[in-house]
Amino acid sequence: MADAFTSVPVKPTLSSYWWVARNPPANPTTSFRGKTVLISGANVGLGFEAVMKFAALGASNLILGVCSLPKEEQAKVIIEARTGCSAHVIQLIELDMTSYQSVENFIQQVNKRFTVVHAAVLNIRVFQQFYKLSLEGWKMLIQVNIISTAYLRILLLPKLCETGLFISRAAHLEIVASCVQGDVNVKDVCDLSSILQKINNLKNFRIGSQYSISKLLVMTILGRTTEEGSRTLVTGTLLGPEAHGGFWTHDRIAMPAILVVTDEGKKLGTQCWKEILDLL
């Protein structure tokens, strides 16, 4: 599918920063009336602004996966006040991406409370400044950005497929990634025994490269306000089959990082995906 994408470079340059700041994506105007949208990581930043837009565009149900219910309650009140959406529209469900059990509980609640999910935006991500392991034994950055995001995606697929059959068109699954995936050097991830164990090792912990690697493996909008950046999260849920597997940025379906689409990159991707499935 990647061969059909545009050749927009995913690796940011100084000139691309200049262009991005002066060419924000289009503001979505399509109605979401009657739609149920799930968003993780929605209390601040891009996620918060995206929820504001979905609410303003009339979404009937907004499912917010939240780590802290008190913080998200505050965000819920602000969104309702600013958009005028009804109190029942925004539904909060606890989601701690550092815990497999929490991810499973979240999906159980979604399946129990909602018949359909038209779109899911997986936006929870962390930038790790210090080496710290999750309860599952992985660096927090790797746990949240890669493993738990993959697990959440896997568990969401049955509900999204069920929705697709019910509404006679495909539901949307969107994973928020970053242009820094283009900064990854193959030597930082290549390991015949285990890619995940290599980047989980303390001696390989480097803040900048680790964040880039995590975004490469899950495949921020740079130089824009959070409101402008959130437009991409919303419009991404309106794309058709032509966007499957693509990197939606600057209102275009861009070619993912070179390491994603080359033969070497595909081999590494297959190995990493197998390692994740073996874990789960």
- Which among 71, 211, 266, 274 is annotated as catalytic? 211
Chain-wide mean pLDDT for the chain?
81
What confidence category does residue 125 fall into, taking pLDDT thresholds of 50, 70 and 90?
confident
Listed in sequence order, the DSSP H helices in the chain are: 14-22, 45-56, 69-83, 100-113, 140-142, 149-167, 195-200, 207-218, 226-236, 258-261, 263-279
pLDDT at 3 over 50: no
| Residue 215 annotated among the catalytic residues of the structure | yes
* CA–CA gap between residue 51 and residue 76 (Å, rounded): 9
Phi/psi of residue 180, each to 5°?
Answer: -70, -5
More confident residue, 89 or 258: 89
Number of structural domains the chain divides into = 1
pLDDT exceeding 90 applies to what percent of the chain?
42
Quick check: 140 pLDDT over 70?
yes
Give the distance, in angstroms, between the CA of residue 135 and the centroid of all CA atoms in the same chain. Answer: 22
Mean pLDDT confidence for 8-23? 63
Task: Assign 17 a pLDDT band (cuts: 50, 70, 90).
Answer: low
Look at residue 153 in the predicted model and tell me its pLDDT: 94
Q: Averaged over 16-21, what is the pLDDT?
A: 67
User: With 90 as the cut, is the pLDDT of residue 259 above it?
Assistant: no
The pLDDT of 100-111, averaged and rounded, is 96
Model pLDDT, residue 218: 44
Q: pTM (2 decimals)?
A: 0.82
Task: With H, G, I as helix, E, B as strand and everything else as coil, classify residue 152.
Answer: helix
pLDDT class of 206 with cuts at 50, 70, 90: low
Domain harbouring 253, CATH code: 3.40.50.720
Q: Which of 100, 159, 215, 266 is catalytic?
A: 215
Give pLDDT, residue 265.
Answer: 73
Residues 6+ apart with CB under 8 A from 2: 245, 246, 255, 256, 260, 261
Give the domain range for residue 50.
2-24+32-279
8 Å CB contact between 91 and 64? yes
Residue 189's pLDDT is what?
57
* All residues at 6 or more sequence positions from 45 whose CB lies less than 8 Å from its CB, including other chains: 226
